[in-house]
Amino acid sequence: MWQAQYRTRRYMEHLKNEDLDQRIVDIIHNLYTINNENQISLLPPERGGAYWMELWTHILEESALRRRGLDGNLHEKIFVPDLESQTAAKACELVKRLRLEDGKYIFKYGNEKYLEPSLDTGTLRISPASSYNDPSLNKAIQDKELEFDFQYPPSEFRMEAFDHKTGQSKGIITPIDGKITSKWTTDFYVYCMSYAFNAKLFLDFDYDACLIISNPIQFLNELTSEFEIQNHGHTGIGALVKYCDPLLTPLSSFSLDFCKHFRYTYQKEVRVSWLPRERVEKLSNVSVRLPNLKQYSRLVTLDTI
C-alpha cells in the first residue's frame, strides 16, 4: 500500500542522489532506538515507528524507480553508539531503574561538571540560537537554528515575484532544485530540553548526566519570567518543538523558532525561546537564576549506577 501511495505522488523524484542518501540517514536515525537491554531495535509502531517505516518504504520505492541500490558507504554516515562501552551499559541500566515516563518530566541532558553547580546555585546558562551552528559541536546538537531549507517537488511549488516598487506581478518563478530558505532576521535566545528519558539521548549527545525536572509547568513559568526580569528586552515562550519534513511540511504550519529538521525527531525537544524586541545580529551567552530550582529538580549521573 505504501509503495502504491508513493507512486501516485513521487515527492522525492527531484532529489539528487546525495540528497536522497542524506534523507536515508535521517530516517534511519529515527527508526532505531536502544532498548533497556542495551540492544539496537526498531522503534515500536505505536511510538512512531510506523511513520518512519512508511518513509523508509518510500525511500526503497524511489531507489527502485531509479534502478539504484543503496550507497555501499552509507553505514559510514550513520551514527551507531558503541553498545559494548561502559557508558552504554550505564545509560541503559539508569533508564531501566528509574522507569520515568515520557511527557511527565522535563530532562536537561549535560555533563555532570556543569549540571551539578548549576543545580547547586540555581543558575542556568542560556545560549543564542546562532551558537548551535558550530561544526565543532556534536552532530546531535549542531543545527542551523536561524534558518530552515525547504525542498518541495517542483511540480507542486511555484512562487510569484512582485516588483517591490510598483507591486505588480513579475510572473511565476521556480526555485532552483525546489529549494527555499526561511531565515530569521534576528538572533534569539533558546534553552533546549527533552521530554524523553532514554539511553540513546545520553549516547548521541555524549553526556554523562541529566537534570530531572518533576514540575515542568512551574519550571517553564519561572524560567520564562525570571529571564525577562534578569535580562530585559526579551519576550519568552515555552513549547514543544515541531519537527518539519523539508519535502512535505506546508509553509502555512511552519514557525521557525519552534521548528526543527525532522532528523532530530527522536530527541523530543521542549524549549523556551526569547525574542529580542529589536533586531540583533548576534547575541552572547547569558545566565538566569531560578531561586526554586532545587525544589523540583534532581541530578542523576551515569556514575549513579
**Portion of the chain with pLDDT greater than 90, in percent:** 63
pLDDT of residue 195 exceeding 70, the answer is yes
Whether residue 54 is predicted with pLDDT greater than 70 in this model: the reply is yes
Mean pLDDT rounded to a whole number for the chain: 90
- What's the CA gap between 90 and 210, in Å, rounded? 13
pLDDT digits (tens, 9 = 90+) for 248-274: 988 777 777 788 999 999 999 999 999
What does the pLDDT read at residue 256?
Answer: 73
Q: At 160, is the pLDDT very low, low, confident or very high (cuts 50, 70, 90)? A: confident
Does residue 29 or residue 139 have the better pLDDT? 29
- Give the pLDDT confidence of 80-101 residue by residue, as tens digits: 888 999 999 999 999 999 999 8
| Model confidence, pTM | 0.90
Instruction: Summarize pLDDT for 291-302 with one digit per residue, the tens.
Output: 999 999 999 999
Q: Where is average pLDDT lowest: 22-36, 39-53, 73-87?
A: 73-87
pLDDT given at position 234:
85
Residue 64 predicted with pLDDT over 90: yes
Residue 96: is it exposed, middle or buried by C-beta count within 10 angstroms (0-12/13-18/19+)?
middle
**Which comes out higher in pLDDT, residue 200 or 165?**
200
According to the model, what pLDDT value does residue 305 have? 65
